[in-house]
Amino acid sequence: MKTSVDSWPIPKIRLFLVLGFVFLTNALLAEFIGVKIFSLNSLLGIDNQGNTLEFNLTAGVLLWPVVFVMTDLINEYYGHKVVMIFSALSALCILYAFGMVYGSIALPPAGFWPGSMQGRGVENMQTAYGAVFGQGLWIIAGSITAFLVGQLVDVWVFQRIKRLTGEGKLWLRATGSTMISQGIDSVVVLYIAFYLGADWPLQRVLQIALLNYAFKWVAAMAMTPLIYLVHQRIERHLGPELSEQMRREALLVKN
């Protein structure tokens, strides 16, 4: 017996696989590279001497805007239920990946391995490996919770804006939903990971959250032309009739 997916035309299946692949890959990578804190000042070539305010960000902010753009595109053509399926799959993949990483950290290292990179300044590879990949449970819990809450908010706001504005104003529903969801995501992850999990002062948590949100806001605005470009490519790939049908069906999906 055929399911509804079996009846999908090939262009719809291809788009589904591509968007899903980019979504899942970036969500998983953002978790792993997020352990690095980088200096925005140094990246922009700003002198940190004197009274210059130091802006430090998690490397994960480089990829989360991509995830939320994919969220909006999946929402646009497949509806919020498919977005939430991908979000749940991403959370499961992240949990599985961290479980495997923690298992690999616990494996006894080969005798030569801990000192194998001393010539490059790494005194103990086992310690470095554990420090980079062994994130605390509070960070994992905060990140996954923030991700799922952010996704719920994003798809809800996106659909509401689209119902109010119709097919026009893609920039408004894409950017607007991302801005609101990213704000919530930035606060939730730091609140759980560092306020609850590491006893950081609430003021520090909120300051870092605001800075991360500001960076995501700028990134989302900068990606608006890219959203239109990708949207146009998708429309050409699907054809006018299929794309209109998919957008209409996605909007009509009920909770």
80 CB-contact burial (10 Å; exposed 0-12 / middle 13-18 / buried 19+): buried
Report the SS3 class of residue 57. Answer: strand
Place of tokens 């608006």: 224
pLDDT at 25 (0 to 100) = 95
Residue 1 is assigned to a structural domain of this protein: no
Name the β-bridge partners of 57.
38
pLDDT at 85 (0 to 100) = 92
Neighbouring CB atoms inside 10 A of 210's CB total 14
Residue 251 is assigned to a structural domain of this protein: no
Range of the domain at 53: 10-107+122-245
Residue 5 is assigned to a structural domain of this protein: no
Residue 3 is assigned to a structural domain of this protein: no
CA of residue 54 relative to chain centroid, distance? 24
pLDDT at 34 (0 to 100) = 79
33: its two tokens: 């590279």
Rounded to whole angstroms, how far apart are CA atoms 175 and 180?
A: 9
Ramachandran class of 31: left when φ > 0, alpha when ψ lies in -120 to 50, beta otherwise: alpha
Residue 2 is assigned to a structural domain of this protein: no
Residue 168 carries which DSSP code? S
Helices (H) and strands (E) in the chain, counts: 11, 2
Residue 62 is assigned to a structural domain of this protein: yes
> Where would I find the beta strands (DSSP E) of 31-137?
37-39, 56-58
Residue 208 is assigned to a structural domain of this protein: yes
Residue 252 is assigned to a structural domain of this protein: no
Are 198 and 138 within 8 A, CB to CB? yes
Per-residue pLDDT of the chain (255 residues; tens, 9 = 90+): 455 666 788 999 999 999 999 999 999 998 888 778 788 788 877 766 655 567 777 788 888 888 888 988 999 999 989 999 999 999 999 889 889 998 999 999 999 999 999 999 999 999 999 888 876 667 778 888 888 888 888 888 888 888 888 777 777 887 888 788 878 888 888 888 778 877 788 887 888 788 878 887 888 788 888 888 898 999 999 999 999 999 988 887 655
pLDDT at 202 (0 to 100) = 87
pTM of the model: 0.81
As for how many domains the chain has, the answer is 1
First to last CA, the chain: 25
